[in-house]
């Protein structure tokens, strides 16, 4: 099963729609059916050898290469941006038979403070800078300050905003408040694309994950994202399946395509393939492209390179080799 490596193209943005409370409140999720479906994914579809290399190279194109640590420095961010420009070593690409392949990640994701550094380091590359926002990761700062943070990151050059919701709106079933919150985030973003972070591990149930997904899309989200990566439970295939089925239902109802981003705990090449297979099975090849699918990760690229090395040379790179170190 081959994947194309074409360049991204713009799609019409999801404009949102008036809040349809009946659609949200009537939604139900069968946890047993979700778990059964997720359990079948690895058995139903696998990729091996040359196909696996193609899928892993494609996974690189979907990465939101991320650094969100309290000890981030301008030097850390510049090194990350250099890796974003050339995510796989040229000699490894040559060994795989794809020398000169134009390969870059989907975005570089940083805190607001580091947006100007990343914008400068990525100048001319076409790689967008994504800024986490709205009181990331807890989302408990005042609403006015959340909007100001978004606006400041956009002015600084961020082309994508990863915004956390107020989880208490979901936990109390206050769907109108959640809708208005996300609607305000979208307005503050302007031309920057909005990725709405649900923090699925803190929403209490898969039913709440589905409903929050619907509300975020109705409010104009360009992407819905699983997690901040800072919760105890982050991206799981169960929550991911629920979210992509909400995306499918929204597309069927409105004609607009909303993107999906798993983030938090995605560290191995095998996990990246699992997420790509989920998208292929549930939404089709178009949703596997970087304009509709991203993986938020920091350590994942290291393992992808190790697996590509094994596919190319029959051996793994030394664990002492750290491309991002």
User: Which among 83, 211, 261, 303 is annotated as catalytic?
Assistant: 261
| CA–CA separation, 258 and 65 (whole Å) | 20
Burial of 193 (0-12, 13-18, 19+ CB in 10 A): buried
Q: Would you say the pTM of this structure is higher than 0.95?
A: no
pLDDT tens digits, one per residue of 144-153: 999 999 999 9
In a domain, 257, yes or no: yes
pLDDT at position 324, please? 47
Has 261 been annotated as catalytic? Answer: yes
Say how many domains are in the chain. 1
Q: CA-to-CA distance for 213 and 283, rounded, in angstroms?
A: 16
User: Known catalytic residue: 222?
Assistant: no
Residue 260 counted as domain residue: yes
In a domain, 236, yes or no: yes
User: Is residue 322's pLDDT more than 60?
Assistant: no
Q: Kindly state the tokens that stand for 230.
A: 């800072």
**Chain mean pLDDT for the chain:** 93
* Residue 12 belongs to some domain of the structure: no
In a domain, 63, yes or no: yes
Residue 162 a catalytic site member: yes
Q: Which residue reads 């091996």 in tokens? A: 48
pLDDT of residue 318: 58
83, 146, 162, 184: the active-site residue:
162
Is there a contact between 185 and 161 (Cβ–Cβ < 8 Å)? yes
Give the structural domain span for 144: 21-313
Gap between the Cα atoms of 318 and 216, Å rounded: 43
pLDDT tens-digit readout, 243-289: 999 999 999 999 999 999 999 999 999 999 999 999 999 999 999 99
Average pLDDT over residues 288-310: 95
Find the range with the poorest average confidence among 35-49, 66-80, 209-223.
Answer: 35-49
Tell me what the mean pLDDT of segment 212-237 comes to.
Answer: 97
Is residue 134 predicted with pLDDT exceeding 60?
yes
Average pLDDT over residues 174-200: 98
Q: Which of 83, 146, 211, 225 is catalytic?
A: 225
Q: Is residue 13 part of a domain?
A: no
Count of helix runs (H) and strand runs (E) in the chain: 13, 8
* Assigned domain for 5 exists: no
**pLDDT tens column, 92-128:** 999 999 998 999 999 999 999 999 999 999 999 999 9
pLDDT at 48 exceeding the cut of 80: no
CATH number of the domain that 84 lies in?
3.20.20.70
Look at residue 138 and tell me if it is in a domain. Answer: yes
- Sign for the CA dihedral angle at 278, 283, 287, 292 comes to negative
């Amino acid at each position: 099963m081959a994947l194309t490596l074409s360049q991204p193209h713009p799609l019409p943005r999801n404009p949102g729609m008036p809040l349809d409370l009946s659609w949200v409140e009537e939604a139900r999720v069968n946890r047993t059916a979700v778990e059964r479906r997720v359990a079948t994914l690895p058995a139903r579809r696998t990729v091996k050898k040359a196909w696996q290399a193609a899928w892993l190279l494609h996974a690189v194109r979907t990465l939101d290469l991320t650094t969100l640590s309290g000890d981030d420095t301008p030097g850390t961010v510049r090194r990350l941006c250099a890796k974003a420009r050339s995510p796989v070593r040229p000699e490894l690409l040559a060994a795989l038979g794809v020398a000169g392949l134009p390969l870059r990640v989907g975005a570089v994701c940083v805190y607001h403070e580091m947006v100007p550094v990343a914008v400068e380091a990525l100048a001319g590359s076409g790689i967008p800078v994504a800024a986490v926002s709205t009181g990331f990761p807890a989302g408990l700062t005042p609403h006015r300050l959340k909007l100001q943070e978004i606006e400041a990151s956009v002015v600084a050059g961020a082309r994508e905003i990863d915004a956390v919701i107020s989880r208490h709106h979901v936990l109390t079933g206050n769907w109108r408040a959640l809708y208005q919150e996300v609607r305000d985030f979208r307005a503050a973003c302007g031309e920057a694309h909005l990725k709405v972070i649900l923090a699925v591990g803190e929403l209490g149930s898969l039913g709440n994950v589905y409903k929050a997904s619907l509300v975020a899309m109705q409010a104009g989200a360009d992407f819905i994202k699983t997690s901040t990566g800072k919760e105890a439970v982050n991206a799981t295939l169960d929550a991911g399946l629920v979210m992509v089925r909400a995306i499918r239902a929204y597309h069927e109802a409105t004609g607009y395509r909303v993107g999906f981003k798993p983030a938090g705990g995605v560290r191995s090449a095998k996990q990246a393939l699992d997420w790509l297979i989920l998208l292929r099975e549930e939404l089709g090849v178009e949703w596997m492209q970087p304009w509709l699918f991203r993986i938020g990760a920091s350590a994942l690229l290291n393992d992808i390179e190790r697996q590509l090395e094994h596919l190319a040379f029959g051996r793994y790179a030394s664990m002492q080799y750290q491309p991002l170190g």
